[in-house]
Chains A and B, each alone.
Chain A
Amino acid sequence: MSGDHEAADGTAHATAPDDDPPPLRLDGVTKQYEGAAAPSPHSPT
């Protein structure tokens, strides 16, 4: 892909070269909420 094109919003955007970084990337993410992994003292084991 290269060159300009008509975007959905009607504005001309320069199309990024293929080797441009992606707009967003998650790289090896994890999410641990505090306390979420710890079993409640009242949980069955």
Chain B
Amino acid sequence: MSFTVERGEVTAVMGPSGSGKSTMLNMLGLLDDPTTGSVELLGEPVADLSAAERTDVRRERVGFVFQDFHLIPTLSAVENVRLPTRFLDADYTDRAADLLTRVGLGDRLRHTPDELSGGQKQRVAIARSLINKPDVLLADEPTGNLDRDTGEAVLDEINTIADGGVGVVAVTHDELVGEYADRTVELIDGVLHD
């Protein structure tokens, strides 16, 4: 399989369960190594990076959005968004609040996840994925737990992020994601089809 994430482009990767979507996403996110071939980040192969270096690169360059949001239930929205920066020296509270405002949650900064709707939780997760200004956003079934209207709002948000120069890859079963994507590829038995 060969695949390039382009800046400013949303690519939907569609395919049935077991087709390899999660494996592909894990390799793009530097969470798993290929058996053969190479993964390049900004033109450099990542195979020789240590685990610690990969963690650093992932934190600095890659944002993740998950179907079930992965928010910490005891933390407020703004605390969830700034969580990836907890080991950094700077205080990212203002940036977290700004990102939440940009995704329409400026009046929900102190709300915990159980006080938010599904769409609001996903927008918190999207804001969190942007806290470190990633080059790439990887989304695993980003609309999987959302109704159509809420899914469309989230996809609008993802397109806005791509317009800012971020390369977005969304693996999904949801045809709606394909409608919003710049490019759709299908993954069947580990093989990509344009």
Contacts and interface: CB of A to CB of B under 8 A. Distances in A.
B164 A22 contact: no
Contacts of A13: 133, 164-165
B136 A23 contact: yes
- Among A22, A24, A31, the one with the most B-chain Cβ atoms within 10 Å of its Cβ is A24
B1 A22 contact: no
Contacts of A26: 1-4, 24, 27-28, 34, 37-39
B34 A30 contact: yes
B2 A29 contact: yes
A30 B102 contact: no
Contact of A22 (B7, B24, B32, B37): B7
A28 B136 contact: no
B179 interface: no
Interface size class of B (residues with CB under 8 A): 35 or more
Given A8-B130, A9-B99, A24 B41 contact: yes
B167 interface: yes
A33 B104 CA distance: 42
A11 B166 CA distance: 12
Given A5-B165, A30-B1, A30-B190, A10 B98 contact: yes
A29 B37 CA distance: 4
B23 A9 contact: no
A43 interface: no
A42 interface: no
A41 interface: no
Nearest to A32: B35
Interface of B: 1-7, 20, 23-24, 27-28, 32, 34-44, 61-62, 98-99, 102, 130, 133, 135-136, 160-167, 190
